[in-house]
Amino acid sequence: MSRIIAAALAAACGAALATPAAAATTKAEVFLASPSGVGGPAGRVMFRDAPGGATVRVDLYGLPPGQHGFHIHQNPSCGPGEVNGAMAPAGAAGGHYDPMGTAMHRGPYGKGHLGDLPFLTIDANGSEHETLVAPRITDVTQLKGHSVVIHAGGDNYADQPQPLGGGGARIACGVIG
Ligand SMILES: [Cu+2]
């Protein structure tokens, strides 16, 4: 009996002493996007692995109040670039991060682009300090070498009536590292 208890205690202590691996994180410093290039700072975004999907901590400021489409885009660049045949702010970030090749915008719970994040809700002061969840992102280290983009308009998590949730122009961007 005592031997069994001793073994159980040893097992429990072993479990307690095992150091849990720190959850992986990746982050992006966010800057305003302008036709001439990367503008002033607008805060930061941090992704962290968690049960049930990555958490997305947003600490943003200096943005227009209201809802804004918020996505991971393919390229680690926030400079001007071509979007639909015309030069545009943060166009160099490319299209939505879509490693499975779905070519569909379906939002954070859908089966489209993996980079489809929950839309932002910027408060009357131009800020947002919140933790969102991206349930389909299970390894935040794979986001390194991509970017986050904030759009002028909201996001209906569909390609209808407008493509990519209807957010339109890119107003801020950050490279994920
Ligand atoms: Cu986008």
DSSP string across 68-128: E-EEEESSS--S-EEETTEEETTGGG-SB--TT-------TTSSS-TTBPPPEEE-TTS-E
How many Å lie between the centroid of ligand 1 and the Cα of residue 22? 30
pLDDT of residue 5: 55
Nearest by Cα to 72 from 31, 103, 28, 37:
28
* pLDDT per position as a tens digit, 92-123: 999 999 999 999 999 999 999 999 999 999 99
How many Å lie between the centroid of ligand 1 and the Cα of residue 154? 10
pLDDT of residue 21: 72
- Rounded CA gap, 171 and 177, in Å? 20
**For the chain, what is the largest distance between any 2 Cα atoms, rounded to a whole number of angstroms?**
78
Query: Can you tell me which residue has the tokens 């001793």?
Result: 6
How many Å lie between the centroid of ligand 1 and the Cα of residue 71? 5
Does domain 23-175 fall under CATH 2.30.30.700? My reply is no
* pLDDT per position as a tens digit, 74-85: 999 999 999 999
How many Å lie between the centroid of ligand 1 and the Cα of residue 17? 44
How many Å lie between the centroid of ligand 1 and the Cα of residue 13? 48
How many Å lie between the centroid of ligand 1 and the Cα of residue 164? 7
For residues 112 and 121, the answer to whether their CB atoms sit within 8 Å is no
Residue 161 has pLDDT above 70, yes or no: yes
pLDDT of residue 68: 98
How many Å lie between the centroid of ligand 1 and the Cα of residue 139? 20
Mean pLDDT for all residues in the chain: 92
Average pLDDT on 159-177 reads 97
pLDDT of residue 104: 98
Residue 2 has pLDDT above 50, yes or no: yes
How many Å lie between the centroid of ligand 1 and the Cα of residue 153? 10
Q: Please state the pTM of the whole predicted model.
A: 0.88
Residue 29: pLDDT band with limits 50, 70, 90? very high
Residue 1: pLDDT band with limits 50, 70, 90? very low
